Structure 1
């Protein structure tokens, strides 16, 4: 390779890195103009998870030949290639928003609302449809099989953590981000069960907060007992409840990521002989909703546990199954 071509590649990589870096820095909640209350409230208007998603989307665009600024034709080509690679329509819509914000932040003309981009997305929606892939709910039989598999394949501390995540994740019906965000100061144990305080969540950006209650169960699959066993085994007294565990059963100080929940669910289901593609972290929440609905619980009562604001949103988590559940969820 000639020195000229080598310099061009280095320059391209530098520009890609700098553009993504600039976007991330402008979207970090901590990057505010001191003394400027307007900027502070603008930064607080979006959840940190949303900002991370936008930054990730922009990185994907840049590492796949995109640049800021880009032309409408370049963005349309990127979207067409993404569709051919099987990317979900909802994800493409989010990436368009991320690319649009990157242009606005740099005071550049955005290609996001151009006619060619609009036509390409219209064609993609008609060709691929807009229905999102729905993972299978983790029903009671699935959960019990996963718990049994965990005990066989993992060392004691790792097994204690994974059991607690599956049982608490199912019984609480919390979102993945809520589950991994739980800290010791959020827990209140009582003879009847466990209260988990959620200071904020995906649909509670104004931080009103809510409390999730998990009753104590009978037998060896009580979520409260599983959580207490994990905390005792890991020696956790402060900070995040759910943490990484290495191959030697060493405990990390930081908490897990939402994606970690999905990986734990998938790994457990693989050990039962199931196809990991059909399950994710959402399977725990969907499993609770589906089980509760099949037992005849009213939707308002289910939403009280899950935090859904409407029956319409809740309905997306209630999946049809051919199985009959037992009287208790666990």
Structure 2
């Protein structure tokens, strides 16, 4: 059998055979590479590649080799990340960033047929110390509640293609509790594009959204709203009709001074920009300074908004968000009336 070395370039496995592979084996190699890509999202692979590049650069500056895997070297690396010494002029990484970098290193080593023992004392003990010294409460984005969404919709131009598209994205993201990547990953119908992450089906009583997410395939049921102005299904139908969509990505760039619909799928960052822009324009959380408000909103605000607003049994919200546990769903719930239930008085004081 021909010798073969597996390497990773920019986070994706490639094959560099010592001699050319037979045609049928090359086909299998290409297909295997496609399956590896499908195992994680494009954003995840991009992060893995960036973190490996960061680690490799630090190793070069430190006169160390990133290969093979050495827990002592990785322990020194995460120490440098925590202290801001991983690269010149950089700030100390947060605990969550360091944990992501560790996951990236484990993945990259695995692609090379190597393993990284994260339980080794050189890594585990250092990481425990980093958590104890630098861990902070998680920074949560503001949830946009029902009244906020209605105010945000009013800032959009009802008669323009861009306004129709943005209205549809806000409403399906909020009512479906969707991640921003799930919103832009939708196709008009099933199995229409290679990079699609799901599709929509419209019925009399609502819409079924089939998604391929972090935990596999799931179905999200979105019912019709109480009025056409705030109904996600009406918004989707209007966008599809006026954009003349029959095939391919559901949400696309609007060009030509707002009169043409492109063929390319929107980037998920457009969802974050949209939520931030319309929340600011609508004056959501006007009690805060402008600087604070800019940092409060993101694409995640839609998903957190559903979890915080839906007055139904928690299990239904958990199912909609695709969470494995009720505890995870509770992390998404943000309430502005924090002291609505006063246990002090309820306890007799």
Query: Shift in Å at residue 22 of structure 1?
Result: 1.5
Query: Shift in Å at residue 61 of structure 1?
Result: 4.5
Q: Does 1:53 align with 2:50?
A: no
Report the TM-score when normalising by structure 2: 0.71
Deviation digits for residues 257-309 of structure 1, max 9, x if unmatched?
332211211121122345121111111111111111xx2x1112222322222
Q: Which has the higher strand share?
A: 2
Aligned position for 1:271? 281
* In 2: Cα distance, 1:179 partner to 1:89 partner: 29
Sort the Cα spacing of 1:66 and 1:137 in 2 relative to 1 into closer, same or farther, 3 A.
Answer: farther
Q: Does 1:169 align with 2:179?
A: no
* Matched positions, count: 292
Query: Shift in Å at residue 240 of structure 1?
Result: 0.9
- Cα contact 2:144–2:304 (8 A) shared by 1: yes
* In 1: Cα distance, 2:313 partner to 2:257 partner: 45
* In 1: Cα distance, 2:294 partner to 2:256 partner: 22
Aligned position for 2:337? 322
Aligned position for 1:125? 131
Q: Secondary structure at the match of 1:26?
A: strand
Query: Shift in Å at residue 238 of structure 1?
Result: 0.9
Aligned position for 1:194? 207
Q: What is the aligned counterpart of 1:262 among 264, 269, 272?
A: 272
- Cα contact 2:253–2:266 (8 A) shared by 1: yes
Q: Does 1:298 align with 2:313?
A: yes
Relative contact order, CA 8 A, sep 6+: which one is greater? 1
Q: CA RMSD in A?
A: 3.6
* In 1: Cα distance, 2:38 partner to 2:247 partner: 29
Sort the Cα spacing of 1:213 and 1:285 in 2 relative to 1 into closer, same or farther, 3 A.
Answer: same
Uncovered stretches (5+) of structure 1, i.e. residues with no partner: 1-19, 324-330
* In 1: Cα distance, 2:337 partner to 2:58 partner: 46
Q: How does 1:76-95 map to 2 (within 5 A)?
A: 76-81=79-84, 85=91, 87-95=93-101
Q: What is the aligned counterpart of 1:138 among 138, 144, 151?
A: 144
* In 2: Cα distance, 1:158 partner to 1:106 partner: 45
Q: Please say which structure displays the higher CA radius of gyration.
A: 2
Report the TM-score when normalising by structure 1: 0.74
* In 1: Cα distance, 2:130 partner to 2:138 partner: 14
Aligned position for 1:203? 215
Query: Shift in Å at residue 149 of structure 1?
Result: 2.1
Uncovered stretches (5+) of structure 2, i.e. residues with no partner: 1-6, 16-24, 68-72, 190-198, 285-292, 339-349
